[in-house]
């Protein structure tokens, strides 16, 4: 099992094998973390290849400096802003894009980051501690209804009403400032839980997603990734829970099977068949061996797709023609 602060990249070899189809190409690792996937990609790139890495976490950006390779360049930014990052480097399109969604092991294991309900620390949860509202600040000012919606929608928590009420009641007595403060409040409000799952798991997940706007980041990042992939380029997305995977799956499906998204009335007209813009390649889960070595990989899923064509010119000005 991984020791504290050790980061084991999830689905490492399947990801590299599926993504890197052109060793002389330019690739983008949108979620550098501690660089596990980036190092594996560099090991397979030719001397002519190039790898760009992004991350908004300042500790991850610091770790980028440990890679001394002329083919590598790191940029501090959220992956939703990948277009700006590529523009700043004078790059138009790339051969492959990787997104490893969610929180990394070092972020969970460091108590002062506030991600873990098992380690007492400030209730922060921001991937970039210099940007946005912390979890503690959100819980201090939000109404019970808003707290409930966040916990229900992003944590899929059936006790969201009770947890929100308990949070509001406690903050009237004193501020909820630490991770263990919140974990204890949630434990008192959750009546039952699946075997082996801490009562606070879903609430902490929900607050982390909300504080970092992770689902909106993913939607924006996927749209930008499609635009900046070359035709024939590949997109690889690793997700860890159903909300992330659902967004990724639906995004790929809408581009791979545009006819299914067409208005039923249009399907009856003698119009040309809508052209697929992506091709679904693989859906991979970790092996039993990987799950045993790294329990945090158990819920992960890798989806890989290939870009077949550019968005039609008539639609290129629209915000997202495949959006619901």
Is 66 annotated in some ligand binding site? no
Q: Which CATH superfamily is domain 12-105+214-315 in?
A: Vaccinia Virus protein VP39 (3.40.50.150)
Is 37 annotated in some ligand binding site? yes
**pLDDT tens column, 55-70:** 999 999 999 999 999 9
Domain at 115-212, CATH class = mainly alpha
Tell me the CA end-to-end span of the chain in Å, nearest whole number: 41
Distance CA 284, CA 181 (A): 38
Is 198 annotated in some ligand binding site? no
Strand order in the sheet with 94-100: 72-76, 50-55, 26-29, 94-100, 229-239, 301-307, 278-284
Question: Would you list the domain boundaries of the chain?
Answer: 12-105+214-315, 115-212
Q: Is pLDDT above 90 for 40?
A: yes
Is 92 annotated in some ligand binding site? no
Q: Is pLDDT above 90 for 12?
A: yes
Domains 12-105+214-315 and 115-212 belong to one CATH topology: no
Distance CA 48, CA 203 (A): 46
Is 81 annotated in some ligand binding site? no
Is 100 annotated in some ligand binding site? yes
Is 55 annotated in some ligand binding site? yes
Q: What local confidence, expressed as pLDDT, does residue 316 receive?
A: 47
Length of the chain: 324
Q: What local confidence, expressed as pLDDT, does residue 7 receive?
A: 67
Q: What local confidence, expressed as pLDDT, does residue 108 receive?
A: 72
């Amino acid at each position: 099992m991984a020791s504290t602060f050790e980061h084991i990249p999830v689905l490492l070899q399947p990801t590299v094998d599926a993504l890197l189809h052109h060793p002389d190409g330019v690739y983008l690792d949108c979620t550098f973390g501690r660089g596990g996937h980036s190092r594996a990609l560099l090991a397979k790139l030719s001397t002519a290849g190039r790898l760009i890495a992004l991350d908004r976490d300042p500790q991850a950006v610091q770790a980028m400096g440990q890679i001394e390779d002329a083919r590598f360049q790191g940029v501090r930014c959220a992956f939703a802003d990948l277009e700006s990052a590529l523009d700043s480097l004078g790059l138009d399109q790339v051969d492959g894009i990787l997104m490893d969604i969610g929180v990394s092991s070092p972020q969970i294991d460091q108590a002062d980051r506030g991600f873990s309900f098992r380690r007492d620390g400030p209730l922060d949860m921001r991937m970039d501690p210099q940007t946005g509202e912390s979890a503690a600040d959100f819980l201090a000012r939000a109404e019970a209804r808003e707290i409930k919606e966040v916990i229900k929608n992003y944590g899929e928590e059936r006790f969201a009403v009770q947890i929100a009420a308990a949070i509001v009641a406690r903050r009237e007595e004193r501020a909820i400032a630490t991770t263990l403060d919140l974990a204890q409040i949630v434990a008192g409000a959750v009546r039952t839980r699946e075997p082996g799952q801490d009562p606070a798991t879903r609430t902490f997940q929900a607050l982390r997603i909300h504080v970092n706007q992770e689902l909106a980041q993913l939607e924006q990042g996927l749209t930008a990734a499609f635009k900046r992939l070359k035709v024939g380029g590949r997109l690889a997305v690793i997700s860890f829970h159903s909300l992330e995977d659902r967004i990724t799956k639906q995004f790929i499906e809408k581009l791979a099977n545009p006819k299914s998204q067409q208005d039923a009335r249009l399907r009856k007209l003698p119009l040309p068949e809508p052209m697929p813009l992506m091709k679904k390649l693989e859906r991979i889960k970790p092996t039993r061996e990987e799950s045993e070595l790294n329990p945090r990989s158990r819920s992960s899923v890798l989806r890989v797709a290939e870009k077949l064509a550019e968005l039609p010119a008539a639609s290129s000005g629209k915000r997202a023609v495949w959006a619901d």
